[in-house]
Structure 1
Amino acid sequence: MANELSAKMNGISPEMVKRFSDNNRAQGLNQTIKNAIMKNGIDAATENNAAIVAMNQVFSEEIKTGKVTNQKQSGRCWMFAALNTFNHHLTDLFNLKDFELSQNHTNFWDKFEKSNFFLESIIETASEPLEGRLVSHLLSTPQQDGGQWDMLVSLVQKYGVVPKQVMPETFQSERSGRLNAILNTTLREDALKLRSLHSQGRSQEEIQNVKEDMLADIYKILSLSLGEPPTAFDFEFRDEDGEFHREQGITPQAFYQKYVGLNLDDYVSIINAPTKDKPYGKTYTVQFLGNVVGGKPIKYLNVDMETLKQVAINQIKDNESVWFGCDVGKYSNSQYGIMDTDLYQYEEAFGFPFQMTKAERLDYKSSIMTHAMVLTGVNLVEGKPTRWKVENSWGEKAGKKGYFVMSDKWMDEYTYQVVVNKKYLSDDLKAALEQEPIELKPWDPMGSLA
Structure 2
Amino acid sequence: MAKEITAQDIAGYQDVVAHTPKSGALQNTVMKNGILASSENMASQVAMDPVFSVEIDTGSVANQKQSGRCWMFAALNTMRHPIQSQYKLKGFELSQNYTNFWDKFEKSNWFYENIITTAALPLGDRKVDFLLATPQQDGGQWDMLMALIEKYGVVPKSVMPETYNSSKSNELNATLNLKLRADAVELRKIINEGADDTQVQDTKDKMLSEVYRILVYSLGNPPTKFDWEYKNDDGEYTRDTELTPQTFFRKYVGWNTPDYISIINSPTDDKPYKHDYTVEFLGNVVGGRQVRHFNLDIDTFKELAVKQLQAGETVWFGSDVGKSSERQKGIMDTDFYHVDDLFDVDLSMTKAQRLDYGESLMTHAMVLTGVDLVNGKPTKWKVENSWGDKVGEKGYFVMSDKWFDQFVYQVVINKKFLSADLKQAFEAEFDQPKVLAPWDPMGALAL
2:419, 2:162 → 1: CA distance? 41
Query: Aligned residue for 2:241?
Result: 248
How far has the Cα of 1:354 moved from its partner?
A: 1.1
List structure 1 segments (4+ residues) > 6 angstroms apart after TM superposition.
none
Does residue 270 of structure 2 align to residue 270 of structure 1? no
Query: Aligned residue for 1:305?
Result: 298
Does residue 276 of structure 2 align to residue 280 of structure 1? no
Q: What is the one-letter code of the residue matched to 2:389?
A: E
- What's the CA shift string for 1:187-230, capped at 9, x where partnerless? 00111110001111100111000000001111111111111111
Q: What is the one-letter code of the residue matched to 1:388?
A: W
2:123, 2:198 → 1: CA distance? 23
Higher deviation after alignment, 378-387 or 258-267: 258-267
Unaligned runs of 5+ in 1: 1-5
How far has the Cα of 1:428 moved from its partner?
A: 1.1
2:348, 2:433 → 1: CA distance? 32
- What's the CA shift string for 1:97-119, capped at 9, x where partnerless? 11011100010000000000000
2:9, 2:22 → 1: CA distance? 18
Q: Which of 160, 177, 180 is matched with 2:170 structurally?
A: 177
1:31, 1:115 → 2: CA distance? 55
1:107, 1:37 → 2: CA distance? 42
Match of 1:10, SS state, is coil
Q: Which of 183, 188, 193 is matched with 1:195 structurally?
A: 188
Scaled by the length of structure 1, the TM-score of the pair is: 0.97
2:225, 2:28 → 1: CA distance? 62
- What's the CA shift string for 1:50-96, capped at 9, x where partnerless? 01111010000000111000000110000000000011021122121
Match of 2:392, SS state, is coil
Q: Which of 8, 11, 14 is matched with 1:15 structurally?
A: 8
Q: How does 1:313-352 map to 2 (within 5 A)?
A: 313-352=306-345
1:31, 1:117 → 2: CA distance? 56
Q: How does 1:123-138 map to 2 (within 5 A)?
A: 123-138=116-131
Q: How does 1:221-240 map to 2 (within 5 A)?
A: 221-240=214-233
1:253, 1:271 → 2: CA distance? 29
Query: Aligned residue for 2:80?
Result: 87
Higher deviation after alignment, 353-362 or 369-378: 353-362
Does residue 369 of structure 2 align to residue 360 of structure 1? no
Unaligned runs of 5+ in 2: none
Does residue 433 of structure 2 align to residue 437 of structure 1? yes
Q: What is the one-letter code of the residue matched to 1:80?
A: F
Q: What is the one-letter code of the residue matched to 1:102?
A: S
2:122, 2:274 → 1: CA distance? 36
Q: What is the one-letter code of the residue matched to 2:318?
A: G
Match of 1:73, SS state, is coil
Does residue 405 of structure 2 align to residue 412 of structure 1? yes
Q: Which of 363, 384, 387 is matched with 1:394 structurally?
A: 387
How far has the Cα of 1:241 moved from its partner?
A: 2.3
2:28, 2:134 → 1: CA distance? 41
How far has the Cα of 1:361 moved from its partner?
A: 0.3
How far has the Cα of 1:29 moved from its partner?
A: 5.2
RMSD in angstroms over aligned alpha carbons? 0.9
1:124, 1:41 → 2: CA distance? 48
How far has the Cα of 1:12 moved from its partner?
A: 2.4
Scaled by the length of structure 2, the TM-score of the pair is: 0.98
- What's the CA shift string for 1:341-362, capped at 9, x where partnerless? 0000111101012121000000
Match of 2:80, SS state, is helix
2:195, 2:300 → 1: CA distance? 52
1:37, 1:164 → 2: CA distance? 46
Match of 2:378, SS state, is strand
Q: Which of 416, 422, 442 is matched with 1:446 structurally?
A: 442
Does residue 287 of structure 2 align to residue 294 of structure 1? yes
Match of 1:156, SS state, is helix
Does residue 103 of structure 2 align to residue 110 of structure 1? yes
2:383, 2:48 → 1: CA distance? 12
- What's the CA shift string for 1:393-432, capped at 9, x where partnerless? 0000010000000000000000000001000011111011
- What's the CA shift string for 1:316-365, capped at 9, x where partnerless? 00111000000000000011000000000111101012121000000000
Does residue 209 of structure 2 align to residue 216 of structure 1? yes
Query: Aligned residue for 1:3?
Result: none
2:5, 2:101 → 1: CA distance? 52
Percent identity, please: 58
Match of 1:113, SS state, is helix
Higher deviation after alignment, 19-28 or 440-449: 19-28
Does residue 368 of structure 2 align to residue 375 of structure 1? yes
1:15, 1:214 → 2: CA distance? 62
1:367, 1:432 → 2: CA distance? 28
Query: Aligned residue for 1:423?
Result: 416
Match of 2:398, SS state, is strand
CA contact (8 A) 2:63 2:387 kept: yes
How far has the Cα of 1:123 moved from its partner?
A: 0.4
CA contact (8 A) 2:17 2:23 kept: no
Q: What is the one-letter code of the residue matched to 1:139?
A: L
Q: How does 1:23-38 map to 2 (within 5 A)?
A: 23-28=16-21, 30-38=23-31
Query: Aligned residue for 2:396?
Result: 403
